[in-house]
Amino acid sequence: MSASRISVGLAQIAPIWLDRNATLDKVVSWIERAAADDCTLVVFGEALVPGYPFWVERTDGARFESELQKSLYAYYVSQAVSIEDGDLDNVCKTARDNSIAVYLGVVERAADRGGHSLYCSMIYVDQAGNIGSVHRKLMPTHEERMVWAIGDGNGLRTHSLGPFSVGGLNCWENWLPLARASLYAQGEDLHVALWPGNDHNTAEITRFIARESRSFVVSVSGLMRESDIGADLPHAELLQGVAEAVLANGGSCVAAPTGEWLLEPQVEDESLFVVELDHRQVLEERQNLDVAGHYSRPDVTRLIVNRKRQTTVEFSD
């Protein structure tokens, strides 16, 4: 492969729903599979570990002081990812051993915010196995706000990956113009968008961002089916009873800097889709539009981004 090209793997998989350790084991196996296919980067869907909170909109999730919602939330917290406790150590080791970068969507139990609130986080692990950024979703959407806290700007960062500068956002925050602009300004030319699933989310915005930014855009979604709801989960019978046969059908796809499809949205299949990207195409398309470069007017409009990790207390000992 030439110096201007990399291969990216889109791991469209279902979690072992609400089972952190089993889902992480599955993620590791798919990282190894992507490495065997000579991928430089492998990407997984939003909140894949331990899974998206599909129950909220189906079980009256906004009811105050609901014993059902308290029970489900407590279990969700118990299965969330604690980076400080080493939950991602095996993911990092696998990335290092296989010299492959990883973007992974997790539900994070954040120790620096007390450890009891959850964040929808997008984790970047580099080819040396180091966690390069933890981006906590800026604004959860609709019913997600019943279980996820709002994030901050600390993870709005890009990373060098071969000839590319890669960055990304979670789900509907990809619609935020200023969040996208903060990544463009850091030289992003490979944009990663994570989704919980469904092609109705990815079909339009993937090509739109590619055309706007003149970047490659990789959208990766998870899968979720009624059959993925384990019988040993709390309230399993209720959860199975309110679920559709398919809750998330995927929709993973890739657009070129022209906005044309390299991989049209893929639905229903649990699979690794591998796409080769050539950085020269970015340079060609930036000739007439570079939104952070020659086509910007910083003397007229500029963006200020607060990347400080937010906390409720600062100690002076």
| Domain range summary for the chain, segments of one domain joined by + | 5-285
Report the C-alpha gap between 153 and 161 in whole angstroms.
21
Going by C-alpha positions, the residue among 122, 127, 134 that lies closest to residue 101 is 127
Report the C-alpha gap between 284 and 289 in whole angstroms.
10
Give the three-class secondary structure for 268: coil
Going by C-alpha positions, the residue among 289, 299, 266, 138 that lies closest to residue 215 is 289
Residue 172 tokens, joined:
């509907």
pLDDT tens-digit profile, the chain (317 residues): 689 999 999 999 999 999 999 999 999 999 999 999 999 999 999 999 999 999 999 999 999 999 999 999 999 999 999 999 999 999 999 999 999 999 999 999 999 999 999 999 999 999 999 999 999 999 999 999 999 999 999 999 999 999 999 999 999 999 999 999 999 999 999 999 999 999 999 999 999 999 999 999 999 999 999 999 999 999 999 999 999 999 999 999 999 999 999 999 999 999 999 999 999 999 999 999 999 999 999 999 999 999 999 999 989 99
Q: Does domain 5-285 have CATH number 3.30.420.40?
A: no
Report the C-alpha gap between 58 and 242 in whole angstroms.
6
Report the C-alpha gap between 165 and 288 in whole angstroms.
20
Length of the chain as a residue count:
317
Report the C-alpha gap between 168 and 155 in whole angstroms.
9
pLDDT on residue 2:
80
* Angstrom distances, CA of residue 140 to CA of 39, 150, 209: 31, 6, 20
